Amino acid sequence: MDALQTLENVLQSLVAGLLIGSMYGLMCVGLTIIFGVMRVINFAQGEFMMLGMYFTYFCFAWLGAEVYFDGLWFPFVLAVLAGPAVFLLGLILHKALINAVTGRRASRLEAQGHYAQLVLTLGIALVLQNGGLFLFGSNPVSVSNELSYSAWEWGPMVGDRVSVFVNQAQTISAIIALVVVLCFGLIMVKTRLGKSLRAAADNPDAATYMGIDVDRAHRIAFGFGIGITAIGGGLLASNVSFQPYIGTEYVIIMYAGVVLGGLGSIRGAFLGGLSIGILQQVSAIVLPNQLQGTVIFVCFLAVILFRPQGFFGRRDRTA
């Protein structure tokens, strides 16, 4: 393999990594919101991504590709709609289950507060995964999107060699992901709701003194968190094939991205997810398929052992 081929491979990987990484970044943002505001590690985050994927898939299959809009845009619209759908589910779940173990109630439990949350979300993950198995079957499916098969060619850059193919569906997905993150960032920074969420995260007691209902803030944050991750899943649905257990595969990706970026930082989470995406795609050049997961895991472990506060975060949050 000559140098130009290698160059092409590397560039291709970088591009793919950036595009896929944007979707990872979006999912990481969802996870970090939940941790940032609620201080909860949600083990079921991968399952909500899976729900987003299946939402997109089923709506696409049932409503038909050509019926609405131009068939090409439809999967993306659906992916974005998965957000509010899962958001609503999140509100219900939080009120019914999670509220019981977070907040001030938590201190009464044997399983010291955050452990109860962890274990509860583990239970939810199991139910969603296996319930999904029952509802959706175990056959891998995917959202067939013509754009997944089309790509723009960038190049040739060196003579008539070195071309990079930029997948169109992935590009649109990446753009949407970026837009969603920016919108959400704006919500958090500019709106009264967003500020109240950040206040509740900074200091729940003081927030209560201000008249902010911290339980409600957590509920909304939880809904946002899983809703955003569901959008990420919906976008990914056009790019990968999935089955109900897919959540577990992506859990490590999401957590690696989040800790890389610093728990609680939205910008950090997006950049972290992006980095993991690039790492994954570039490592595919030299490593066999199964080991990609191990690389990400090693990265994750290294970060939490040696630099738990992450690299990209702006906030100085010491756990």
Binding positions for another protein, rule: CB under 8 A: 35, 41, 43, 97, 100-101, 109-112, 114-116, 118-120, 122-134, 137-138, 192, 195-196, 198-199, 202-203, 205-214, 244, 248, 251-252, 255, 259, 263, 288, 290-291, 293-294, 297-298, 300-301, 304-305, 308, 315, 319
Give me the least distance between CB of 299 and another protein, in Å please. Answer: 11
Structure tokens of 244? 């109900």
Give me the least distance between CB of 4 and another protein, in Å please. Answer: 30
Contact 49, 208 (CB under 8 A): no
Residue pointed to by tokens 């803030």: 217
Nearer to another protein, 168 or 292 (CB): 292
Between CA 303 and CA 269 the distance in angstroms is: 14
Give me the least distance between CB of 141 and another protein, in Å please. Answer: 16
Return left, alpha or beta for 262; rule: phi > 0 is left, psi -120 to 50 is alpha, else beta. Answer: left
Q: Which residues pair with 242 in a beta bridge?
A: 141
Nearer to another protein, 8 or 47 (CB): 47
Contact 37, 95 (CB under 8 A): no
Contact 37, 218 (CB under 8 A): yes
Between CA 265 and CA 263 the distance in angstroms is: 6
Amino acid symbol at 243? Q
Give me the least distance between CB of 247 and another protein, in Å please. Answer: 10
Nearer to another protein, 4 or 198 (CB): 198
Nearer to another protein, 160 or 205 (CB): 205
Burial class (CB in 10 A: 0-12, 13-18, 19+), 220: buried
Give me the least distance between CB of 254 and another protein, in Å please. Answer: 11
Burial code of 23-59, b = ≥16 C-beta within 10 A, e = fewer? bbbbbbbbbbbbbbbbbbbbbbbbbbbbbbbbbbbeb
Helices 45-63 and 114-136 sit at what angle, rounded to 10 degrees? 30
Give me the least distance between CB of 49 and another protein, in Å please. Answer: 15
Nearer to another protein, 88 or 210 (CB): 210
Between CA 66 and CA 268 the distance in angstroms is: 38
Give me the least distance between CB of 287 and another protein, in Å please. Answer: 9
Nearer to another protein, 159 or 288 (CB): 288
Nearer to another protein, 67 or 305 (CB): 305
